[in-house]
Structures are given as C-alpha cells and as structure tokens.
Chain A
Amino acid sequence: MDKKRVFWPMLAIVVALSLILSACAPAATPTPEKVIVTSVVEKQATVVVQATVVVKETVAPIVVTATPEPKPAGPNCGTDPVVLKATFETGFPVPQQLADEFTKQYPNVTWDISQDQFANLIASTPLVLASDNPPDLLRLPTMVSFAKDGLLMNLDGYAKAFGWDKWPVPQLNQNRIDANGVRGSGTLYAMGLNYSLTGVFYNKKLAQQIGMTEPPKTVAEFEDLLAKAKAAGLQPIMEWGSAKSGMGLAFPLQQLMAAYGPVGPINDWIFQKPGATIDTPTNLIAAQHLEQWIKNGYFPSDINAIEYTDAAARFGKGEGVFTFNGDWQNAPYDKDLPGNVGFFLMPPAEAGGKLAAMSAPLTFGIAAKAKHADCAAFFFNWVATNDMARQINVTGFGSNPGGPADATMPALAAGSVTNETLAAGPVMGADGGAMDFIANATSSIFAQGWTPELQKMVGGKQDAAGLLKAVQAEYERELAQQ
C-alpha cells in the first residue's frame, strides 16, 4: 500500500523530469551557416533555474540602463591595458583573426573570448547579456527581443562619431529597431563585421556542357537552362532540405519572390511591420514557379533528407549544375572545385529588371552594461575601415567587409569565386535589392513555418497558395504569442 502511495508521485516526478530534461541530449552540430537557425540547448533545467535568478537581479537595472547614449567624443581604446570580453560563434574564424590583428595594432588591447554554436547562443545570449559581467562585444543570434529588454547598447552616438551613418544605407538598416520593435529603421543596436550575399553558384564545366555561355538575364532563361540540365541527365540544382538543417528551398523561393515583386514588402514582413503579409499575388507567382521546379525534378529527389553540409559537399563533388547559397561558402567551393565555380545574382523576371539578394550582416552588438563600450565601438569601425582588417575578411573568407562607399577593396587571386560575389554586391546594392532572409522573420518561422511547409510541397502535400497561407498563419500565431 505504501509502495502504491509513493509510486505515483514518484512516477509523476520522474516523468516530469524526463520531459523537462528531455532536451538534455547532447547537441547535434548545427550547420555552420549564417542565416539558418536551428536550436540546440545543452542543459535546459539549469538554464531555467539560472534564468529565474537572473531576472530578480536584473529587471530593475535593465530599466535604468536601457539604451544609454554613449558620449560621441572620439571613442577609442585609450592607452591603458584593456581586456575586451567577447562572445564569438563557433565555426566562424573571422572574428578571432580580426581580434588577433587588432591586438597587433593596439597592443594594450587583449581579449577574453568565449565561443559557442549559433543555436546555443540563441538560448544563452539573453542570460549572458543580463548578467553582471556581460561581454563588451558579442555575436547576436537575434536582436529585437534583446533590444526590447534593454540588454543592448544604443549605437547611434557611435554611428555619428565615426560617420557610420554616411555609409551606404542598407548596411546599417537591418540593425536598426524602431520604438515598436520593428527592424529596418530607428535606433542602431548592432554592426556587421562583414556582409554576406546570396545568389546562384554554378559549376562552370557543367554549365558549359548545357550551353550556358553567360549568366541568364531572366527567370525564363534560367528555367530554360534548368530544363536543359535535366534533359542532359544532370542534377539541375543541388540544395538541402532536412528539418535539422532547415529547408534550403527558402533560398530559391525568396529569390523568385524578389524577381516577381518588389523587395520592400518582403523586408516589411521580415521586420514585422504591422499588417505585413507574405501571401501576396507576386509571391504566389514565385511559389508557383518553385512548385513547378520541384515537379520538374530540378531538385534532388531525396532533398527532404539532405543536410546543409551534405549538399555543399555534393555540389563540390560535381553533383548539381546550380546551387542557391551564400558567399560564406566561397572558400570551400574554391577548394573543392578550384577555378570552376561561378556566381550570378538571381535574374529578374523581365530583362533589365532590378536585381535582389538576401544580404545579411554578421551581426555583433555591445552589451548595455559593457565595461569597454568605447573600445568595442572603435573595433567595429576599425574592422570596416582598416586595410589589414578588410584584407582578412576578403581574401581569407570571401566576405564583403562593407564600410564606407569609397573604401578600397583588397586584391584577390584570379579564379576565386569571391571575385564574382564581391563584384555582384554593389550591383545589387545599386538596385536597392538587399533583403534579410524570410527565415529570420520570427525566431521559429523557419522551424515551424517554412521548413515543414516546403517539405510538404516537395512531398506533393502542399501547393503554392497553401504554402503562403500556412506560413502567414504561423507568422500571425507566433506574433500573437509574443
């Protein structure tokens, strides 16, 4: 009898434990990719417990320290020894190399760096920011909620002091948040250490084989090439699509959206402007094209099970004439297919139309309670304007360093695909075609909206109209819960 009495509460507790701790499984390695968001947390229970403590300690100070305006009087690192505390993302060596070079030039500055996977950063960043000893400089996995909670430093003063506000406009806009929590304009809360660009990569040899002599000028020309590749028995497009990596078809879909409609409404939707919708007539045309591509067999038949890294590797081994991806993949492509990878921006619907691309900053911010905010801001400015720093970004990693419009661009080895992505950046910028990624509209729109619905489309269980409706419904559901 006693056993009975003890058993049920025990069982209930054990069950609860297994649920609460169910996320304690060791983290799967998320794909080393900038825009894709997959979440992994190592110690859920600990996080929750810590969080309660943190809240008690920090709610009041947050309100007080929210958006402090730094003094714009020539911020720098001074001459006294400074230890910059920083959080970087595992798998992205650019910030580390920039930090090393910075110390070479400013020996009084040393670093205390911690690193974590992007997905872990999503869970840990709010706690780190709210702690008493937050990093001066940190990789931001998302930013709106941190800014709303008063955890990030207002960078407007620094922007004025350093003249960032005179840089080409799109660079900073994605890092601005207005009073309603809408991104795209308002207060500056972050800077990019570099700026990624997406588009269509192609295997030059295979492209030649299907008679492509120059990049297509319209979607119709591109579709003609896809049909030729299919007819030639080649894999027309290599792309990934597993739920673990996040569905890669969001790349071609968004490119098609920008080909058939203006980028403004797409960005409005991503930045959560009130009333914004993804279910528009031009987006429907885009989704219908994607659906047709799927039906025509332009993507691998097993795409729903392909991981990001596998897709990149298979393209590197010559499987796939085209692949939709971003310039963060330049170095691996150059290595796998030396001199054999080309890049073009997704062509517009009509010849001569505007070019557009997803182009996101490698976002870094300064904690509201940072001890060396001036020095961190000085580092931001240095990264974009110092020749050595620009060199590290461009030749080392194929990334666009951004910065002032008249900044010099370091020279590159001939044959590197980076030449083509760097050349494409300003072309797209001149057309005002920079977009953030539709997968970043809310923190889980990718996991709960785009990925499952696009996977259903691959499986023939969802059509173009249904896709947009389902994602819009999920978007509204998530916003209502915020």
Chain B
Amino acid sequence: MTVDNRPAALPVSRRTHINKRARREAFVGWLFVLPALLMYAVFVLVPLLLSILYSFNRWNGVGPMTWVGLNNYVTVFQFPNLIGSIFNAFWLIVWFSFIPVGLGLVTASVINRVATGRFGEIARTVVFLPYIIALVAAGIIWGWLFSLSGLVNQILEAIGLGAITRAWLGDFDWALSAVGIIGIWVLLGFCTVLLSTAMSKVDPALYESARIDGASWFAEFVAITVPLLKQEIGVCLTVTVIFALATFDIVYVATAGGPGNATMVPGLQIYILAFTQRNIGVASALAVMLMILVVVIILPIQRLNREESAQ
C-alpha cells in the first residue's frame, strides 16, 4: 500500500508565486526550443505548405506557375501504375514493419536474457550497425549479394538449392521481397535497440518470480515481455509503417523500381515526376495524397496503442 505524501492544497499566495515562476520557466523553455522551432519551420513547415501550393499548380520548376485547381489530383488517379505502386508499398509493410518488429522483440529478449554486460552491448551494436551505414553503400553491397553470381546464390548452391538461384533483384516475382530483406537488415537494429531499452525498464522481479514458477523463455516472452512493451511496440510499428509507405531510398538504390515497375513505390514515383519529368505540380499532388494515406493507416495503430496504455 502506498501512502499519499503530497501536501494539501497550497495557500493562495504561494500558488500565484509558483504560477509566475512557472510562466517564467515556460518562457525560458520556449527560448531554448526557439532555434529548433525556427529550423523546423524553415525546413519542414514551409516546404510542406509549398508542396500543397504546388499541387494546385502546373509548374516545371522554372517557368511561370499556372493555377490548375484539382487537375493534378485527377491526373494522379489516372496513373496506370498508381494501384500497383500503392500495393507494393503495402506489401513492404510486412518486410519493413512486421518482421523487424517481431524479430526485434525476439532478438532484444534473447540479448537481454542471455547476453548481459559487455557481450550484450556488442550484440546490440552489431545489430544496430546496418541502420547507420549509408544506404547507397548498402544498396551496392546488396546488389552484389543478390546478383546471379553473388553470395546468396553461392550459398543456395552450396546447400543444394541451385535450382532456385536467380538474379533476385531482376526477378519479377522476387525483386520486391528481396528489397524487403534489405529493409529488414536496415530496420532490425532500430527496433531491437528501442525494444531492448524498454525491456531493461521492466521490473526484474517479474522475471524472477516467473522463473521461480518454472516459466520457460517463451512463456516469459509471451506473458511478461510483450504485454509490458505494448507502447514501445506501437512506436516501432508507427515508425516502420511510415517508413514502408513513404519509402524511397532503399528501393531507389536497390532496383530503381524495376524490373518492369515490379518494385515501383509512390515515393519513387514522386521523385521521377518531380525531377525527371519536371512536373512539380503532379508530383506534389501525389505527395500530398501519400501523406493522407499514411495518416489514415497510422491512425488505427495509434488509437489501439493509446487505448491499451489507458487501460
């Protein structure tokens, strides 16, 4: 049982004093935030608003801008590849979000249980490394690994699976999944470190009592770890789902949308429209629509997360 040690209601004069102080503190706080806020406004809010403005105009980036109302949005809906590229982005959620979060949970749990101390740190660092490697370099490396004579196929041949070898990034059925595997490699570290940090905050007494009761690693994992980490899992899911839907870089460096648009995603389409076709208006319209789509997808995840944490 806990005892409420908080003082009773404060005298009025003291309260005003505190209010004044709090206001001053708040003001100082805003001053601290101001530089970041300015950067945010210049590099985030202004481009965002400009994008929305551009989406109602026809503009090549240099010449005069002409107002076209909703025409750019109509054009976007007439894209032959639109549905396919959105479907691809959804398929990437499995690879960029579900698998890294699931695997990250398992990895973090194993590291926390088995590898404590220095070894645990090393393990976490190794898992996190891909997240900080420049994606362009990663794209080139994975291009080699997945090539016809690459390591992946060499391994497959060594274990007697020579029949299924192929140029993975150039194969219509497998290219998107191969891109997904690069995504797992990049995002697993992020999820693992985030979840592992959360796990270290879980009361060890819970695990101890479970072990005294003879619980296995799996039982601990299901009964303690996952339920107590719901919020962090929610954060991981949110970040990685956004990453999957708005992805550009991994796809660009791995396949550039090929073969035959099999890995085309909206992010890449926006890029081609804006910078190859120099059609800033249509590109902005697609970007705004993608933003709306992402918000619509993220909304339920957030709601679920909040409801659970409120319980």
| Residues of A in contact with B (beta carbons under 8 Å apart) | 4, 7-8, 11-23, 25-28, 37-39, 41, 44-45, 47-49, 51-52, 54-55, 59, 122-123, 126-127, 129-130, 145, 148-149, 151, 241-244, 300-307, 442-444, 447-448, 451-453, 455-456, 458-459, 461-462, 473-474, 478, 481
Contacts and interface: CB of A to CB of B under 8 A. Distances in A.
B206 interface: no
B147 A19 contact: no
A481 B275 contact: no
Given A22-B267, A301-B148, A456 B259 contact: yes
A41 B274 CA distance: 10
Contact of B272 (A59, A447, A456): A447
Interface stretch (B9-17, B60-68, B102-110, B191-199): B60-68
B146 interface: yes
B283 to A, nearest CB: 10
A23 B48 contact: no
B257 A243 contact: yes
B280 interface: yes
A216 B243 CA distance: 53
B292 to A, nearest CB: 9
B287 A20 contact: yes
A460 to B, nearest CB: 9
Interface stretch (B119-127, B211-219, B225-233, B248-256): B248-256
Given A16-B291, A302-B170, A145 B260 contact: no
Interface of B: 43-48, 50-51, 54, 60-65, 75, 80, 134-136, 139-140, 143, 146-148, 166-172, 242-243, 246-249, 252-253, 255-261, 264, 267, 270-280, 282, 287-288, 290-291, 294-295, 298, 302, 306
Nearest to A244: B256
A220 B47 CA distance: 57
B290 A28 contact: no
B47 A45 contact: yes
A130 B63 CA distance: 10
Nearest to A307: B143
B167 A301 contact: yes
Chain A contact surface mostly: helix
Given A26-B134, A39-B275, A242 B255 contact: yes
Contact of A19 (B168, B171, B279, B287): B287
Contacts, number: 217
B167 A305 contact: yes
Contact of A52 (B50, B60, B80, B287): B50
Given A17-B44, A28-B253, A242-B170, A304 B62 contact: no
Contacts of B276: 37, 39, 122, 443-444, 447-448
A302 B62 contact: no
B272 A39 contact: yes
A243 B255 contact: yes
B290 A304 contact: no
Nearest to A456: B260
B60 to A, nearest CB: 6
Nearest to A4: B306
Contact of B47 (A20, A129, A244): A20
B172 A461 contact: yes
B310 to A, nearest CB: 11
Q: Which 4 A-B pairs have the closest CB atoms?
A: A243-B258, A305-B170, A304-B170, A302-B167
Nearest to B253: A28
Contacts of A39: 271-272, 275-276
16 contacts: A11-B302, A15-B298, A23-B267, A28-B136, A41-B275, A48-B50, A48-B280, A122-B276, A126-B60, A145-B60, A148-B63, A243-B255, A304-B167, A452-B259, A453-B260, A456-B259
Contacts of B44: 13-14, 16-17
B258 A22 contact: no
Which of B135, B248, B287: most chain A Cβ within 10 A?
B248
A18 B146 contact: no
A472 B222 CA distance: 57
Contacts of B47: 17, 20-21, 45, 48-49
Contacts of B282: 481
Contacts of B60: 126, 145, 149
B62 A149 contact: yes
Contacts of B258: 242-244, 304, 451-452, 455
